[in-house]
Amino acid sequence: MDFLILFLLYVILVLLSILFCVFSGRKHSFPSRVVAWGTQVLLCLVPARVLKPLHQLFHTRSCLFVVLNFVLEVLVYGEYSWEVFSYCRELEFHILILLLPYLLLLVNLGFFLLCSKTNPGTITKSNQALFLHVYAYDGVMFKKDTECPTCSVRKPARSKHCGVCNGCVHRFDHHCIWVNNCIGAFNMRYFLLYLLSLLAMAIAIAIITTTFLIQVVVLSNMMLGHYLDDRGQEHPVDVVFLIQHLFLTFPRIVFMLGFVVIIALILGSYFCFTLYLILTNQTSNEWFKAARCKCTCAQHCSRHSGYKNVYSRGALSNIMEIVRPLASTGKKRRALCPEYVSSYQCPPLKRK
């Protein structure tokens, strides 16, 4: 019973953390106020010499989280290969089903490399003309003729300066510490596929492992048995006793399964949120800013939501905008590859 209670508390804590992360960007929401209060308490309790390295860790480019991601995958796949794969082969599982997680791992690695190595759409003085007319300025979150004080470039609509990468990014979504790169216009499609393949990996391992444990229970006829409690009374085997018995029999497998299930829940929630942003043509940066944005122009305001998204052109067009990112020279929009953008040079000014 102790294990089950601790496991449920762990799951509840993770789910609450997800909810607080989602709603913390809403200025007047209860989670945002609790997060702000908790931050103030943390600042008072934690010494400055501890907070400073943590601040630098999250605000400078570092491969630490990439290494951590790699270590977690090695641990999960090591346990899967060492025990789950071997036991499933003895139970005559189909080999193609058992090899599916490895195939998904290769696919995930490919999208990880594309996502981390692709230029997200970094804006420089030499290529800023390509981005200035891609999106209209809404006059609320993005105002015309605004210059980035750090990069000294004219900021196109929907762009943002990333303090971690030290550059402005076209259609900036967020900086992802797990791929050590910004997510922008040119690698958003790779990031979505990276999330999807990562989610598929977790689901595949969870399903295979759960199927193995169910097979063990069925073959042993465990559900037909009885057990004695602390008072010596006999009870039929129930789900709680079954989970504890499996944990004592296969501790590493059950622990790995619990971890993978939690990761799948987190990734599934975040993938759905990212897909919603794509279908509505929003970025994470815009979604968080929309709630705090005080609209000053009536044509950009909605009676119920406060800020009206002016960039959505329908679900299909919004998806195509991710598949083929937009950039432009002048007012004519067209899809460009990131390699062309990175090599583009603005034409020299003609002297009179």
| Half-sphere exposure in the Cβ direction for 260 (13 Å, CA) | 27
pLDDT reported for residue 327: 67
Three-state SS string over the chain comes to: CHHHHHHHHHHHHHHHHHHHHHHCCCCCCHHHHHHHHHHHHHHHHCCHHHHHHHHHHHHCCCCHHHHHHHHHHHHHHHHHHHHHHHHHHHCCCCHHHHHHHHHHHHHHHHHHHHHHHCCCCEECCCCHHHCCCCCCCCCCCCCCCCECCCCCCECCCCCEEECCCCEEECCCCEEECCCCEEECCCCHHHHHHHHHHHHHHHHHHHHHHHHHHHHHHHHHCHHHCEEECCCCCEEECCHHHHHHHHHHHCHHHHHHHHHHHHHHHHHHHHHHHHHHHHHCCCCHHHHHHHHHCCCCCHHHCCCCCCCCCCCCCCHHHHHHHHHCCEEEECCEEEECCHHHHHHCCCCCCCCC
Report the candidate in 230, 256, 219, 238 with the shortest Cα–Cα distance to residue 84: 256
The predicted-structure confidence for 279-307, as pLDDT tens digits, reads as follows 999 999 888 887 666 444 444 454 444 56
Q: Average of pLDDT values for 143-150?
A: 87
Burial degree of 87 (CB within 10 A; 0-12, 13-18, 19+): middle
Give the per-residue pLDDT at 336. Answer: 53
pLDDT of residue 200: 96
Is 176 among the residues known to form the active site?
A: yes
d(CA 91, CA 96) in angstroms, rounded, equals 14
Catalytic residue among 88, 168, 176, 182: 176
Q: What is the token pair recorded at 80?
A: 């899967």
Beta bridge partners of 227: 235
Structure confidence at residue 49 (pLDDT): 61
- The CA-CA-CA angle for residues 70, 73, 78, to 5°, reads 125
Facing residues of 154 across strands?
147
Mean pLDDT of 234-240: 66
- Which pLDDT score is estimated for 27? 47
The pLDDT score that the predictor gives to residue 5 is 62
Mean pLDDT of the chain: 78
Band the pLDDT of 165: cuts 50, 70, 90: confident
Q: Is the pLDDT of residue 329 over 50?
A: no
Residue 251 CA to residue 245 CA, distance in Å, equals 9
352 pLDDT more than 50: no
What are the domain boundaries of the chain? 60-118+188-279, 122-186+283-343
pLDDT at 228: 61
User: Residue 349 — very low, low, confident or very high, per pLDDT cuts 50/70/90?
Assistant: very low
* Residues above pLDDT 70, as percent of the chain: 65
